Amino acid sequence: MPWMISLTCIRFMQGQHSGIGTKESYERNSRGVEIFSKCWFPENHHMKAIVCLCHGYGDTCTFFLDGVARKIASAGYGVYALDYPGFGLSEGLHGYIPSFDTLVNDVAEHFAKVKGNPEHRGLPSFLFGQSMGGAVALKVHSKQPNEWNGAILVAPMCKIADDVVPPWPVWQVLIFVAKILPKEKLVPQKDLAELAFKEKKKQEQDKPRLRTALEMLNTTQEIERCLEEVSLPIIILHGEADLVTDAAVSKALYKKAKSQDKKLCLYKGAHHAILEGEPDDTIFQVLDDIISWLDQHSTKEGSSY
């Protein structure tokens, strides 16, 4: 969502992991859009698996995600991420999603190249999605139901909380206006940063563009209707006090997903931004839960980068 940058978490995690290599690159995808991507990998150890990160609405694959990626890479994983078109260092109007399905296709295309690298042959591959990135990860899985070994879903955007969504009559007006002014930031909303972050010093926010907001809402409605189609191993991590994405739908996903390998971790009193907006002890508990799950679902054999 549009506020997620924790400078404290970035500094804390960036400084404590040695032996991690990184690579950054720009590449035009099949649509001709220039995409920025980054990877983190253990320099002197065999790679257990690859983890493909899908960032949230206001995030990028740098800043806060750098700390998260370094933590995961330090546990022996190759971590790969990209900035969506219109986000971070990738080409496009900032924060503008004219089509969520097109965004998902861009992500799937990039990760297919990552997985197709001969150096990764035989390695398990996992999706990692936070907030809106959780919706992206679930949509990628829907497109590729048999191509992933599991998914990590952190406060996934399976449904936007009812208190955050404008009333129905307002939405009807916004749908009409979006046809004329799709790029305008006219969506009425509560202070989402205040709702998402327990630690107020870790807040940053921005309003979504009309077309973007409608695409996100339509996507969550689609995902909510298809929870039972989730078939890969999953771990869902959600703050019980999340006022932005509905934790009840994460519980429903856990119950309805046809996967027999599923785990739900709820964090009492935690808000939406459990990897950057909470006290550091909560953030590191979430990361430890993620790495423990990855270790259980990865083979012992790996490949050096």
pLDDT at 172 over 70: no
What's residue 194's pLDDT?
A: 43
pLDDT at 199 over 60: no
pLDDT at 273 over 70: yes
What's residue 254's pLDDT?
A: 97
pLDDT at 191 over 70: no
Task: Please give the average per-residue pLDDT across 158-179, as a whole number.
Answer: 65
What's residue 293's pLDDT?
A: 98
What's residue 202's pLDDT?
A: 38
What's residue 290's pLDDT?
A: 99
Residue 41 DSSP code? E
Question: Is pLDDT larger for residue 90 or for residue 208?
Answer: 90
pLDDT at 214 over 90: no
* 173: CB partners within 8 A, 6+ apart: none
Rounded Cα distance between 296 and 277, Å, is 27
Q: pLDDT tens digits for 13-59? A: 455 567 899 999 999 999 999 999 999 999 988 899 999 999 998 88
What's residue 64's pLDDT?
A: 74
What residue spans of 49-157 are helical by DSSP H? Answer: 64-74, 100-115, 132-143
Question: Is pLDDT larger for residue 266 or for residue 163?
Answer: 266
pLDDT at 241 over 50: yes
What's residue 182's pLDDT?
A: 66
Q: Are 218 and 248 in contact (CB under 8 A)?
A: no
Write out the two tokens for 45.
């150890």
Percentage of residues of the chain with pLDDT beyond 70: 77
Task: Please give the average per-residue pLDDT across 224-251, as a whole number.
Answer: 93
pLDDT at 304 over 60: no
What's residue 65's pLDDT?
A: 86
Question: What average pLDDT does the structure give for the chain?
Answer: 84
Rounded alpha-carbon distances, angstroms, from residue 247 to 11, 83, 157: 29, 26, 9
Q: pLDDT tens digits for 77-128? A: 999 999 999 999 999 999 999 999 999 999 999 999 999 999 998 999 999 9
Element (DSSP H or E) covering residue 80: strand 78-82
pLDDT grade, residue 168 (50/70/90)?
A: low
The residue assigned the tokens 């990860």 is 137
* 58: CB partners within 8 A, 6+ apart: 1, 2, 3, 4, 5, 95, 204, 205, 206
Domains of the chain: 7-297 (3.40.50.1820)
